[in-house]
Structure 1
């Protein structure tokens, strides 16, 4: 995985004032929970046009989004660098669309890149049915400082399934 390419792109995001955070298997790797990563998932909160300005000069392609489980506004992949941008991260539950906060983990960076909140990715992996990754994050959260604000924000989401809300609230003790 090309860390230098990732850093170049995130530097451009910072320069353009685009809010972003590293999530997915990159987050798991940064937290020391996994060795291997599939790709770099960068959550972004900006209009698609602003992101395409940031990645000008790179080979990219838009991915399907907004259908089935995945309800994010857009997904763009920079193929040569294995970077997947997820614009306004959201998933569908049995009740409706669950918008997931960017939720930067306060003060946490990896290679200078802000990390997304593990709480957000616990919910995402749980909703996607990726139990092993969800379990890794849940166990991590049980034994580290948790972001209570994000847990409460997520648990208040009316579109989230009740069992997942209960799991989140158990983290608060």
Structure 2
């Protein structure tokens, strides 16, 4: 089994439970770019969730694996940032994303109406955030390589 297949099995198992519980969530970051054919690989699974769903998501993920110790980064003041390891797969969960750029805080809560796309993995619906939204995030994060990668694939 490939590393990607292993990650997709973990993701689809989690997704089934999140969807069953009607939790507002979506995939972002490098996995989003991978699923859209923009990036050739991804290291972990980044999930954006609604702030109101933090406890439910934590409960679901703990039923599959373990939570890792907090590892804060001063560039982000995200309302909730949780890291899990499930069957050797790293999963980062963010609720109420806040990116600090030149002393200004930019707040990006996940709203249900922002989720307009999805992918199917192992027969399970995986909600996706928009590439345009992630281009904005990456630009504010100073991740110019990711911005350039998106710009090469998505006409502006």
TM-score band, normalised by shorter chain: 0.7 to 0.9
**How far apart in 1 are the matches of 2:120 and 2:131?**
14
Counterpart of 1:18 (choices 19, 23, 26) is: 23
CA contact (8 A) 1:6 1:83 kept: no
CA contact (8 A) 2:50 2:96 kept: yes
- The alignment's TM-score, normalised by the length of structure 1, stands at 0.72
**How far apart in 2 are the matches of 1:62 and 1:96?**
27
Counterparts in 2 of 1:77 and 1:124: CA distance versus 1, 3 Å: same
Equivalent residue of 1:85, what SS? strand
Which residue pairs with 2:140 in the alignment?
127
User: Are 2:93 and 1:85 aligned?
Assistant: yes
Question: Using CA pairs below 8 Å that are at least 6 residues apart, which structure has the higher relative contact order?
Answer: 2
Which residue pairs with 2:106 in the alignment?
98
Which structure's residues are more often strand, by fraction?
2
Aligned-residue Cα RMSD (Å) equals 1.9
Which residue pairs with 1:114 in the alignment?
127
Equivalent residue of 2:154, what SS? helix
**How far apart in 2 are the matches of 1:78 and 1:98?**
25
Counterparts in 2 of 1:117 and 1:101: CA distance versus 1, 3 Å: farther
Counterpart of 2:39 (choices 20, 34, 37) is: 34
CA contact (8 A) 1:19 1:46 kept: no
| 1:2-17 equivalences in 2 (<5 Å) | 2-17=7-22
- The alignment's TM-score, normalised by the length of structure 2, stands at 0.79
**How far apart in 2 are the matches of 1:42 and 1:136?**
21
Aligned length: 141
Structure 2 gap ranges (5+): none
Structure 1 gap ranges (5+): 143-170
CA contact (8 A) 1:89 1:101 kept: yes
